[in-house]
């Protein structure tokens, strides 16, 4: 089980995502990205240092008169996945790649994932990016030839996408969003020293959420906490399930689950009103009303996937030998929500 984790600075960049289960995604050429280019330049050294040197040379190689078609399948809209998508596109632009991109969003619909995956393959894209595990599994099921990169997938090997995370052995590689689960449970014990029982909330339809939930149960046990699992099968069940947790647990832990992240406003509406603090898997969930997290930066794992894409398209890198990318462990960062803390009467100063 991998515990290599990371976070680096977030660069807020706007990418025109065209959404809709069956709608055609927007196409754009890298020559038409002046706004993004300016934002990247303004970010300066916020891009990974290992890639900063030689950017101009890479751009010259990437240009080289050849144009590439790239398809993107994003499972759903929420802050973390949006940031990963933005990071991916920023890396392509920074490398000077000449490309068109077809952005598709499945709106958290499994059947739409399958339909869109088939479309992207049939359209003859040179490379496909799949954002989140269900999207990655849909694309993996319809092509063994086109290079596929995944991001926001906790453990690609555990999800059945690759033979191993070190050597994928097929047409798939990418970057992981494995979060520091042990540290997140430790954060819970610091902020909520009187907590005895933790409710672990996730969507049963997401295999990588179950992977993290199992880690969380082990971490709770090691910390002397009792844990009880609560699952939803769709966003329609979130309110009812969270309401069922009231009076049964002292706090909620939810990993980087896409269904829960997209419905986090519902989670916190019920939880905060009933005095239940929520420790989250990523910072977008904290922005939506969760109490705190200690985790990774989705923009950066998307950016890393974009660098992999450039290497594959312009340098002929072998995706089957390209290890799954992880950010370094020393880049994790604390994120708290003061308004939520005030509502719940939690003292954040214990973290200082």
Sheet with 278-280: strands ordered across? 226-232, 197-203, 251-254, 278-280, 292-295, 333-336
Contact 311, 317 (CB under 8 A): yes
Non-local CB neighbours of 136 within 8 Å, separated by 6+ positions = 130, 148, 150, 153, 156, 159, 161, 172, 174
Count of CB atoms within 10 A of residue 78's CB?
Answer: 23
Distance CA 352, CA 345 (A): 17
- Each residue's pLDDT tens digit, 158-180: 999 999 999 999 999 999 999 89
CATH code, 181-295+333-351: 3.40.50.2300
Of 340, 270, 325, 290, residue with least CA distance to 8: 325
Query: Comparing C-alpha atoms, which of 39, 124, 122, 313 is closest to residue 305?
Result: 313
Which tokens go with 346?
């939690």
Cα separation, 135 vs 73, whole angstroms: 6
Structure confidence at residue 64 (pLDDT): 59
CB atoms within 10 A of CB 26: 15
pTM of the model: 0.76
* Of the candidates 240, 250, 242, 248, the residue with the CA atom closest to the CA atom of residue 276: 250
Query: Is 30-178+297-321's fold the same as 181-295+333-351's?
Result: yes
Q: Compute mean pLDDT per 10 residues along the chain, 352 residues long, and list them.
A: 36 34 40 33 38 41 76 96 97 98 96 98 98 97 98 95 98 95 95 98 92 96 98 97 98 96 96 98 95 94 98 98 87 92 97 91
Query: What are 131-154's pLDDT values in tens digits?
Result: 999 999 999 999 999 999 999 999
The CATH code of the domain at 30-178+297-321 is: 3.40.50.2300
pLDDT for 26 equals 43
What pLDDT score was predicted for residue 208? Answer: 87
Within 10 angstroms of residue 319's Cβ, the number of other Cβ atoms is 22
Contact 251, 199 (CB under 8 A): yes
Assigned token pair, 318:
């072998």
Could you tell me the residue ranges of all domains in the chain? Answer: 30-178+297-321, 181-295+333-351
């Amino acid at each position: 089980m991998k515990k290599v984790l990371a976070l680096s600075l977030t660069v807020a960049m706007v990418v025109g995502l065209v959404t809709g289960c069956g709608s055609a995604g927007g196409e754009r050429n890298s020559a038409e990205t002046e706004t993004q280019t300016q934002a990247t330049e303004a970010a300066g050294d916020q891009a990974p240092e290992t890639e900063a040197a030689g950017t101009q040379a890479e751009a010259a190689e990437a240009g080289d008169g050849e144009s590439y078609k790239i398809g993107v399948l994003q499972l759903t809209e929420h802050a973390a996945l949006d940031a990963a998508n933005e990071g991916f596109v920023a890396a392509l632009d920074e490398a000077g790649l000449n490309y068109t991109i077809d952005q598709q969003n499945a709106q958290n619909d499994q059947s739409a994932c399958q339909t869109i995956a088939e479309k992207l393959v049939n359209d003859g894209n040179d490379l496909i990016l799949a954002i989140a595990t269900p999207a990655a599994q849909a694309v993996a099921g319809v092509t063994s030839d086109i290079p596929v990169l995944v991001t926001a997938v906790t453990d690609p090997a555990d999800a059945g996408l690759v033979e191993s995370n070190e050597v994928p052995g097929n047409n798939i590689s990418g970057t992981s969003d494995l979060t520091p689960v042990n540290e997140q449970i430790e954060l819970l014990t610091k902020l909520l020293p009187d907590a005895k029982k933790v409710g672990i909330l996730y969507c049963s339809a997401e295999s990588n959420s179950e992977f993290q939930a199992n880690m969380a149960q082990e971490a709770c046990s090691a910390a002397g906490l009792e844990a009880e699992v609560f699952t939803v099968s769709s966003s329609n069940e979130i309110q009812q399930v969270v309401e069922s947790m009231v009076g049964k647990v002292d706090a909620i832990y939810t990993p980087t689950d896409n269904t829960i992240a997209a419905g986090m406003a519902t989670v916190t509406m019920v939880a905060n009103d009933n005095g239940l603090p929520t420790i989250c898997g990523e910072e977008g969930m904290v922005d939506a009303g969760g109490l705190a997290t200690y985790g990774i930066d989705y923009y950066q794992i998307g950016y890393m996937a974009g660098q992999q894409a450039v290497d594959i398209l312009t340098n002929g890198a072998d995706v089957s030998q390209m290890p799954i990318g992880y950010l370094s462990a020393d880049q994790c960062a604390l994120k708290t929500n003061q308004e939520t803390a005030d509502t719940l009467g939690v003292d954040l100063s214990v973290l200082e």
